[in-house]
Structure 1
Amino acid sequence: MKKFLIVGLGNIGPKYENTRHNIGFRIVDVFAEKESLTFETVKLGDKTTYKLKGRTFVFIKPSTFMNLSGKSVKYWLEKEKIPLENLLVLTDDLNLAFGTFRIKKKGSDGGHNGLKDIQHTLNTTQYNRFRFGISDAFSEGRQVDYVLGEWTEEEEKNLSLRVDKAIDAIKSFGLAGMANTMNSFNGK
């Protein structure tokens, strides 16, 4: 049986729940809701498992806060004995237009502190990441407020369609592989 670790990045607590920075949490929460899965609080995060066509998807929402996500990722990769190539990290990206996907096998942290910590902890840039565009519609010096701000009414209207598409991409990652998933979902 093939196993995959799907890590939705975000910050814990109601203060951050509906913020742009928590899109990773949101995607895995909606996935769990649609498949009637329940998260359990475990070491370094909340966890649930989903089985599909001989594949097991282990979903983690780290409880370490965004900037220390690497600790949770490393722990769960080792604990579940999941190879690095079966890791997919879901995160926000303000360099992409709202709702745009960029799925890659490797890359820089792009200034994202969660990815920076994962890269540092795993000691590699060779891991799969799924960046969800939140756009850069903020004025100079307001980046932190924007990223930690809540979705606008307009964004919220379109968000559920994009999150549903993200769920399809996660399933594709496990069933069709990274290359096919990138071809099918990038920029769409």
Structure 2
Amino acid sequence: MRLIVGLGNPGAKYNHNRHNIGFMALDEIHRQNSSFSPWRSRFQGQASEGRLGSEKVLLLKPSTYMNESGRAVGEAIRFFKIEPQDIVVIYDELDLPPAKFRMKTGGGHGGHNGLRSISAHIGQDYRRLRLGIGHPGDKKLVSNYVLGDFSKADNDWLEPLLREIADHCALLAEGKDSQFANKLTLALEPEKARRADDAGKKAPARKPGIPQSSPKPKAQSHIRQARKAKTPDIPKSGPMADMLKKLLGGGDKS
């Protein structure tokens, strides 16, 4: 069994909060994949079982509020005996611009109360999908910002992001995080993906025995040969030297 956790706060008033983007991602995965059972109360949260690719998966939205998310996650992994490498937590990230994402395994909680609680219950070695929501610019504004709703303009990037996560979530379930990230980048940032692909291509291999050298030495060789052809060697003394000097105009004038 694989576990995909979305973080957020329960209740209709929080549904469209920036802090609830993890819930939104799970709802989209559930909506797009007909193999999942209806949501039901389980493990101190809302849970649904289904299949993604070749893997059996539990989707879990904790109902304990954000700062107690670890209670629900801990209960689920103990029941199914799920290992940390088989857990993906999807959550909001202030330090990433809106529409950006990052995959990461392990590490600290970065001040996120949901991660803080999960790490306290199960350790830090689980996988994370961080979804950027941007920063309000002032630490004092953070609480109201994350608990505020996404604007209508945000839907221009939010809906495609959630859709692509759902489209490629089977790769997450199968532990193919790099392939998942590449698919999202290709869909959401095609220009960035193209540049990365171009940079990764190797230059054509050099044929053995053929040095990569400048044509200058060859050109200099032609110059030296031309100089030699233009100025023949002339003996410095003797009858032959005198005759050559006269022929070349170098003798005494009379």
- The answer to whether TM tops 0.5 is yes
Relative to its length, the structure with more helix (as a share) is: 2
Give % identity: 31
Relative to structure 1, is the Cα distance of residues 181 and 116 closer, same or farther in structure 2, using a 3 angstrom cutoff?
same
Counting only pairs closer than 5 Å after superposition, residues 1-188 of structure 1 correspond to structure 2 as: 3-36=1-34, 37=36, 38-122=38-122, 124-175=123-174, 177-182=176-181, 184-185=183-184
Q: Secondary structure at the residue paired with 1:56? A: strand
Q: Secondary structure at the residue paired with 2:97? A: coil
Q: Which runs of 4+ in 1 moved over 4 A?
A: 182-188
Deviation of 1:43 after TM superposition, in Å, equals: 3.1
Relative to structure 1, is the Cα distance of residues 58 and 145 closer, same or farther in structure 2, using a 3 angstrom cutoff?
same
Contact 1:105 1:178 in 2 (8 A): no
Alpha-carbon distance between aligned partners in 1 of 2:181 and 2:108, rounded to the nearest angstrom: 17
Unaligned runs of 5+ residues in structure 1 are none
Q: Secondary structure at the residue paired with 1:154? A: coil
Relative to structure 1, is the Cα distance of residues 183 and 140 closer, same or farther in structure 2, using a 3 angstrom cutoff?
same
Alpha-carbon distance between aligned partners in 2 of 1:16 and 1:44, rounded to the nearest angstrom: 18
What do residues 22-45 of structure 1 show as CA deviations (whole Å, max 9, x unaligned)?
001001011111224421112300
TM-score when scaled to structure 2? Answer: 0.68
In structure 1, give the amino acid aligned to 2:151: T
Higher relative contact order (CA 8 A, sep 6+): 1
Q: CA RMSD in A?
A: 1.9
Relative to structure 1, is the Cα distance of residues 129 and 70 closer, same or farther in structure 2, using a 3 angstrom cutoff?
same
Q: Which has the larger radius of gyration?
A: 2
Alpha-carbon distance between aligned partners in 1 of 2:112 and 2:149, rounded to the nearest angstrom: 18
Deviation of 1:176 after TM superposition, in Å, equals: 5.3
Deviates more, 1:106-115 or 1:168-177: 168-177
Unaligned runs of 5+ residues in structure 2 are 190-254
TM-score when scaled to structure 1? Answer: 0.90
